[in-house]
Structure 1
Amino acid sequence: MRPTLRAAHKRPEHTETTQERLRRLNLTMIVPPLAAAGAVLVAVDARTWWDAAVLTLGVIAGLVVVERWTAGDTSRVALPCLIITAAVWPFGVLVADSHTAFYGITIVGPYLIPQLTRHQGAATLGLSAFVAAVGTAKLLESPDDVPGVLIRYVFIPTGVTVVATGLMFANQLFYKLMEQTRERDAELAVIGERIRFASDLHDIQGHTLHVVKLKITLAEKLLRSDTGRVEEELREVHALVSDTITQTKELAYAQRRLNLSAELENAKNLFEAAGIRVRVNREADVEESVNGLLGQVLRETTTNILRHAQATRVRITLSRSGISIVNDGAREAPLPGLSGLATLKERVGDNGGELTVEQENGRFLTAAAFPSLRSEKLPAAAREDD
């Protein structure tokens, strides 16, 4: 089914566009604040140009991981950046006397751990233990200020690392949910396309089969009394089947478009062949934008009248913004489920219209209207075709 395959094929392009937008959004919202915060921390803590260079290297390694994370590819930079930031933290503690040198590793670690396929908990515990152990080493230089060292070099860095890792796990869950939502959207689009295709196929072949049945029944009745008419009916059946094959091919290649005028002429011929009197009232020319959809409504209604009603009269009214079909001979009991009209009701509604189906006192009304297309002025004169 080519329409279904084409709909499924277009979806990845949309997904790629969405991912690119998310990447740009992440780069805009995450990288500048992280870079600014890192620059401030380096400016505050660095006492020499050497300290500034090493601390800046840790910040840059963290930003590189973030940039690659937004692109979905951290494999090539993960290990080098982790090694750099892991080395900057001990340098800051033991050499530069910087209690903020953990900044780089609290970016790299939380971004990389959620991407692990397993042992994420152990990796989180190991990262936190490393940050805490390096901070504790500061007690070797400052044994007289234990509370201060523990707060600045152990508790705060470790706490920030744990919180940042937890936030990244939540962020990963959010992106997984978004990906699942996109996949569900793609699946629903494919299902919707299949339903549309099945509905159109039902319109074409179901209608044709009922008409063929009607004409064959008529030919059987005339077989002995009017062989010329029988030959004419069989030729029409042959032409109808050929036309249905053509329409089915057009549907498969998404080239089919119903024409209301052709459907109107077809409906008149079918009703007359069944001995049903038809009256057509033309109040105005139908808007081109809804021509095909109103043709579908007329075709489905014609099939339902031939199948479910014992009609003797049908009145079809055309306006600029809609169509109404009224027939007599409707059953007093509730009609069986008209799935074709139910599908058309959704389709008409999706295009801003309303489909009305009413049954009362042996009369059945099917009407489709598009209020937004109604003309402000009434037509000067209406035309009626008997």
Structure 2
Amino acid sequence: MQRITAPTSQLSRNISSTWQLTLAGITFFNLTLVYLWHGAATVQVGTVGALMVLVVGLIWAGLAVVMMYRYRWIIDADHAEGSWTCRPWVVVAAVTAAVALGVLTWISIGLVVASIVPVAQVLVMLRWSTGVRSRFALGLTAVLVALAILDYRHNLGALNADAPTTFILLLAYAAIIPGFTVFSLWWWDIVVELDQARLAEGELAATRERLRLANDIHDLQGHHLQVVALQLELAERVLALDQAAGLEHVHEARRTVATAQAETRNLAERMRPVNLRNELENAAELLRVAGAEVTMRIAPNVATAPSEVLAPVIRETTTNALRHGGGKKVDVALDFEHDQWQYAMKNDVDCSNTSENLERQWSNGSGLASIKQRVREHNGQVAVEGTDTTHTVTVVLPHRKEIH
């Protein structure tokens, strides 16, 4: 299956915890085995032999960690240069350490099962084909249990009185560790596959959305262009006979173009995601650059606010404060109370500008009319209040679930 490569940071955020648990679990089992072999070797052959078992065992456990990191890197990147065939030294070193540890444990402890477990652990960590690893691990488990029984019958008598407890632990680990390792790596594979499926689903959804947007733009522009072409053709025909009628068709074509531009702009605004918190912070930064002292209050659940309505309102009120405000102080607030969103921008005004003048300036422009129209379309209300020193625009909108 072709994989979709995710950015390392994104993949780490999503599934690194699962990987850390997988790595920690397998490493814990390996280190516990080394500890048990070291303890048994101390009893049987003394400190020097036990130290050799400990050193080689730690090297084996460390190489197992390297193998698991290589395993994750291959799964994450699915890169040909990172495959096992291109990095044979990892497997060779791990197998060599496993064989050396097996020989040392056989010499020092005298149990065949203890000498086979390191090699078995390395083998089950390789990248086997689908279904092969589980059958291989099942066969290894059967072999290890059989060897443990043979050890119990033929080699256990050579051990001292404390050996049965150690042997029982080794037997349990011999029966558990191949299956545990295979299950852990299988679970990791499943998590990665699920993450890849999630990424594929996200890309598919984005592709569908782009196709839908392309169809909407095609339908919108195609219709208006067809109308414009017809109007210009009519103008061309009648212009020589009736100049007034021809110019009227030209004016109609211009109005159609303006309508197409407005509808295209509205479509783009509906499709463009808006981060309302960023919009508010950008407005505050713009006002501060202009020299105003800005205080801002934002509701904690701002992510659920109707951003497609409030974002243009924020831009328009910010422009108004920059144009007509006194430039000294601006208060911005977005609150959520009683299942309603309330946005307010209060700014000081130039002493030479009365509130009546400000209202008239807004009324003469398209800013206030545009805000009122947009808000009323979503069942909201707009209030403009002012004194000789302050000017406030307040917008109240129902919660998103009530917007129609």
Structure 1 unaligned residues grouped into runs of 5+? 1-11, 258-284, 291-316, 326-353, 357-366, 382-386
TM-superposed deviation, 1:70: 2.3
* 1:19 pairs with 2:32: no
2: CA distance between counterparts of 1:289 and 1:93?
A: 81
* 1:177 pairs with 2:194: yes
**Corresponding residue number in structure 1 for 2:210:** 193
1: CA distance between counterparts of 2:110 and 2:69?
A: 29
Q: How does 1:1-386 map to 2 (within 5 A)?
A: 15-21=7-13, 25=17, 28-31=20-23, 38-39=30-31, 41-43=33-35, 45-46=37-38, 47=42, 48=49, 49-72=51-74, 73=82, 75=84, 76=87, 77-78=90-91, 80-82=93-95, 84-85=97-98, 88-89=101-102, 91-96=104-109, 104=118, 108-112=122-126, 115-117=128-130, 119-136=132-149, 138-139=151-152, 140-143=154-157, 151-210=168-227, 215=231, 223=238, 227-233=242-248, 235-236=250-251, 287-288=314-315, 319=368, 322=371, 324=373, 367-368=377-378, 377=385
1: CA distance between counterparts of 2:115 and 2:316?
A: 66
1: CA distance between counterparts of 2:383 and 2:5?
A: 40
1: CA distance between counterparts of 2:108 and 2:73?
A: 35
Structure 2 unaligned residues grouped into runs of 5+? 43-48, 75-81, 273-311, 318-365, 393-404
- Which of the pair has the greater relative contact order for Cα pairs under 8 Å at 6+ separation? 1
Contact residue 220 and residue 260 of structure 2 kept, 8 A: no
Q: Structure 1 residues 165, 93: CA separation in 2 closer, same or farther (over 3 Å shift)?
A: farther
2: CA distance between counterparts of 1:32 and 1:170?
A: 14
TM-superposed deviation, 1:66: 1.4
Q: Structure 1 residues 169, 66: CA separation in 2 closer, same or farther (over 3 Å shift)?
A: same
Per-residue CA deviations over 1:244-286 (Å, capped at 9, x if unaligned) read 9999xx9xxx9xx9xxxxxxxxxxxxxxxxxxxxxxxxxxx96
Return 70-79 or 238-247, whichever deviates more. 238-247
Q: Structure 1 residues 239, 165: CA separation in 2 closer, same or farther (over 3 Å shift)?
A: same
Contact residue 156 and residue 164 of structure 2 kept, 8 A: no
Contact residue 55 and residue 88 of structure 1 kept, 8 A: yes
Q: Structure 1 residues 74, 123: CA separation in 2 closer, same or farther (over 3 Å shift)?
A: farther
Q: Structure 1 residues 36, 111: CA separation in 2 closer, same or farther (over 3 Å shift)?
A: closer
TM-superposed deviation, 1:184: 1.1
2: CA distance between counterparts of 1:170 and 1:31?
A: 12
Name the Cα RMSD after superposition.
5.4
Aligned residues: 273
2: CA distance between counterparts of 1:233 and 1:133?
A: 98
Q: Structure 1 residues 153, 225: CA separation in 2 closer, same or farther (over 3 Å shift)?
A: closer
2: CA distance between counterparts of 1:377 and 1:106?
A: 80
Q: Structure 1 residues 33, 124: CA separation in 2 closer, same or farther (over 3 Å shift)?
A: closer
TM-superposed deviation, 1:208: 3.8
Per-residue CA deviations over 1:320-365 (Å, capped at 9, x if unaligned) read 774549xxxxxxxxxxxxxxxxxxxxxxxxxxxx8x8xxxxxxxxx
> How high is the TM-score relative to the length of structure 2?
0.49
Per-residue CA deviations over 1:95-126 (Å, capped at 9, x if unaligned) read 3468877775575444335x424533432233
> How high is the TM-score relative to the length of structure 1?
0.51
* Aligned residue type for 1:232: L
1: CA distance between counterparts of 2:19 and 2:155?
A: 40
1: CA distance between counterparts of 2:9 and 2:30?
A: 31
Per-residue CA deviations over 1:29-60 (Å, capped at 9, x if unaligned) read 55566556655653554223211122222212
Q: Structure 1 residues 224, 178: CA separation in 2 closer, same or farther (over 3 Å shift)?
A: closer
Contact residue 38 and residue 103 of structure 1 kept, 8 A: no
* Aligned residue type for 1:228: Q
* Aligned residue type for 1:116: S
2: CA distance between counterparts of 1:369 and 1:188?
A: 30
TM-superposed deviation, 1:237: 6.9
1: CA distance between counterparts of 2:116 and 2:93?
A: 16
2: CA distance between counterparts of 1:201 and 1:111?
A: 54
